[in-house]
Amino acid sequence: MYCLKEVLEKQSVKNILKTTDLHTILRLPTGIFYKQGVKANVLFFDNKPASKEAWTKEVWIYDFRTNIHFTLKKNPLKFEDLKDFIKCYNPENRHVRKETWSEDNPNGRWRKYSYDKIVSRDKTNLDISWVNDESLADLDNLPDPDILANEIIENVEAGLESFKEIAETVNGE
């Protein structure tokens, strides 16, 4: 299992799609491993030998980020929370899967994208989302102000930490 950030620092998305069979991405809620605002994805792939043709033909994506909130202390992620993903992933035979997304169910969390669809996207990236973010769509249904304030603080602190790391790298520390 690799962090998407670590993988992308070493390779471009197109190169990953060509040199591996990237078959599944699990989009995790922000903040479950580090701090609020830090995105995490779990990539499932098989390394492959060099080839002229891309090994990745389609990527299945489970959006476990949009409209889902966990915290490290008060509401941590538990194994039970991943049961739907495991069912969709179908570990017994990952080649037999069924999307939960459709035109009739646009908020289905399990969806596949073809290689061509991914590489044709602007800036070819793997942070793909399609589930409607309810916090953006329904302003009457916002979380309590204290929750929003804490999320803003956590996002600002995570951003500040990132800037500190960049400054240390630039300054050779």
- Distance of alpha carbon 44 from alpha carbon 94, whole angstroms: 11
In this predicted structure, the answer to whether residue 11 has a pLDDT above a threshold of 80 is no
Domain that holds residue 164: 143-173
Mean pLDDT (whole number) for 108-130 = 85
pTM of the complete model beyond 0.85: no
Whether residue 89 sits in one domain with residue 13: yes
pLDDT of residue 140: 60
Domain containing residue 115: CATH number: 3.40.50.150
Which pLDDT band, with edges at 50, 70 and 90, does 135 fall under? low
Whether residue 82 sits in one domain with residue 50: yes
Residues 12-21 have pLDDT tens digits of 788 888 889 9
Mean pLDDT (whole number) for 58-80 = 85
Q: What percent of the chain has pLDDT over 70?
A: 83
Q: Which contacts of 131-140 are long-range, i.e. CB under 8 A and separated by 24 or more positions?
A: 131/63, 131/66, 131/67, 131/106, 131/107, 132/66, 132/106, 132/107, 133/66, 133/67, 134/67, 135/67
Whether residue 128 sits in one domain with residue 94: yes
Whether residue 35 sits in one domain with residue 112: yes
Mean pLDDT (whole number) for 135-164 = 71
Whether residue 128 sits in one domain with residue 171: no
